[in-house]
Structures are given as C-alpha cells and as structure tokens.
Amino acid sequence: MLVVRPIFKDDYDSLHLCAEESGHGFTSLPVNQELLSNRIAHSVNSFQKTEVSSPGDEGYLMVGVDCDSGEVAGTTGIEASIGWDAPFYSYHISKVVHSSPQLGVNNVVKLLTFGNNYTGCSEICTLFLRPKFRGGLNGRLMSKCRFLMMAEHPHRFSTTIFAEMRGVSDDKGNSPFWDWLQEHFFSIDFTLADYLTGIGNKGFIADLMPKLPIYINLLSPDAQNVIGKVHDNTRPALKLLENEGFTCRDYVDIFDAGPTVECDLRNIDTVRHSFRAKVSIAEHGSSISYLISNTSFEHFRAVAQQAAFDAETQSVIISPKVAQALQVEAGDWVRMAAV
C-alpha cells in the first residue's frame, strides 16, 4: 500500500534519487543538493504554518511511501502562489490577421507572446513516480491526492490551478523548440537552460529571450511541430488532468513549448465530487476502491484503498491498516473521492 505524506528532512536521499531518475526536462527536480535541500526545508516550514488565510509563498512537497518496505515511490507537490519571489514566464499563442482587401489577401498568423500571466496562481507540480511503482492506482493517487487537499483546505490555494506539462525532447534532452531559440537568441543547450531554471537562476531568460512576439510560421518546421505537444512519458499525466477538467488556454512552456493546462479549483472533478465520511475501523468485504485522505493539513495522509462507504449515514468502514496509514481513529472524519 502506498501512502502520500508531507516530505521530511530525512527524505533527501530519496528525493535525490527521484531527481536522477526523472531525466531531462523535469525542471522542478534538478539534480542539485542545495536546491533539493532548500525545497525540502521550505516544504517542511510551509506545512507547519497554521495561520494561513490565503495563498502565499508556500510550497508543499509530498512523497509516496510504500507502507511495507518504507521505500519512497515518488513525489508530488503544489506551489500555493507562483511568480512572487521569482518571475514565472510562459508563451501565449495568439493570432493576428494580415489582410489586404485590395489584393484579396487574408492571412491568419499565429504568434508567441512572452509574459507572466500565471503570476499568483497555484501550480500542481513535481509529479514523478519511479518506474518500478508505476502500476495499479499509484499514479492516480499521486496526482489526485492534491485535489483532496485542495477540497479540504481551499483557502490555502488560488482560484486558478495550473500545471506545466513536459514538452517534446529526445533521449539526450534535446528539444526541437529550444534548438530554434538557441540558434537565434541563446548560446547554451537545452539541458543547461533547463537546469539553470530549475535551480532558480532565471535572469538569463529576461536578458536573452526575445521581448517582441514571435511569428510561429518563421520557426523551423521541427519547432512548429512540437508546440503544445507533450513528451511521451507525460501523456498519461495529461490525460488524467484532462479528465479532471483541465484544459490548455494556449499557454506553452518557453523552453520546450509543452502545453500548460488549467482549471478553476471549484471545477476540478475530484474537488467537486469529493465528500466527507465518519470513520469506523474494521475488516470489511467491500471491493470498491476510493481515494481517501485525513482532514489534517500538517499531518496530511492519503491512500487509494478499498472501503465500505454508506451514503445514507455518511460513514465509512476502513481496515485497521488503512486507518494506521491515514493516522485516523474511529469517529474521525476523512475526505473521499472516486478513484
């Protein structure tokens, strides 16, 4: 059984392993000791904040842990409000019409416009599940547990939730979109640019990135073909978010042109349809699985396990093992949702 909990300071080695296994293009998990240590410390402090009435600079990083072996299976996170301590950049795809009635010419051309439109929004990020744990309900748990947290503690998050999806790159980390940018505006390769961004060194972006809109039809065919497309390994994560109600509003990443998807917090499917239930602890014969979390924030726990829910009494029977994983007792409340 996998249980999701806030990251601890002694989880550094496990997080470093996830960073190594995540590969190129995973900006939020660079293989950098100082950054990973700082991110863990920031998350620990964020979870300990009790007087939070609105989203600020908090960053919540969690890990999925195998209850039997104690091994960390992956990580998942939320940034409460991005763009305040460091700028958050993206490209917006827009259209412009070049028209000449006299010549009978009417061309619609797409543009990439550089901006900071997601400033202040909450970002779901750092979702990575190690290959050996990619099975069953683990992927759904790691992704959707964040929505149970948002449903239970909405005041900690923005009304707009978004996610940057990893764009197209090859096994060596080369991005067709970045190759074009590199040729015309930069002198560093994609992996270095991606790494510098991950460790917070973003000054070069504002210094070197073209400030005026870029005509997409002037890009190389390879660069044009990957705009708004995701890495093959990211397709399952994108599909899951689309099923939750997330959609692309024509924003893409400035490095690999991967799509950014967003949804109003209230319209996220798991948030809308989650519910509370009072706990009874006993063995049961139910074969129906649910996403289940406790109602604590500082000691948040979530699992995807079988439970016997009674809608009439708003109560749920969970096994002693599940109760222990969630750190709940009989009479406590949990939040639940369909898997």
Q: Label residue 136 exposed, middle or buried (CB < 10 Å: 0-12, 13-18, 19+).
A: exposed
**Marked catalytic residue, from 42, 92, 231, 273:** 231
In this structure, what is the dihedral angle of CA atoms 78, 234, 205, 179, given to the nearest 10 degrees? Answer: 170
> Quick check: is 231 catalytic?
yes
Cβ pair 168, 226 in contact under 8 A: yes
Distance (Å, whole) CA 208 – CA 181 = 10
Nearest CA to 270 out of 161, 197, 192 is that of 161
Cβ pair 291, 270 in contact under 8 A: yes
Residue 209 identity:
M
Q: Please list, in sequence order, all residues whose beta carbon lies within 8 angstroms of the beta carbon of residue 256, skipping any fewer than 6 positions away.
A: 25, 166, 167, 168, 169, 175, 177, 178, 190, 194, 226
Residue 220: strand, helix, or coil: coil
Which residues are tagged catalytic?
A: 231
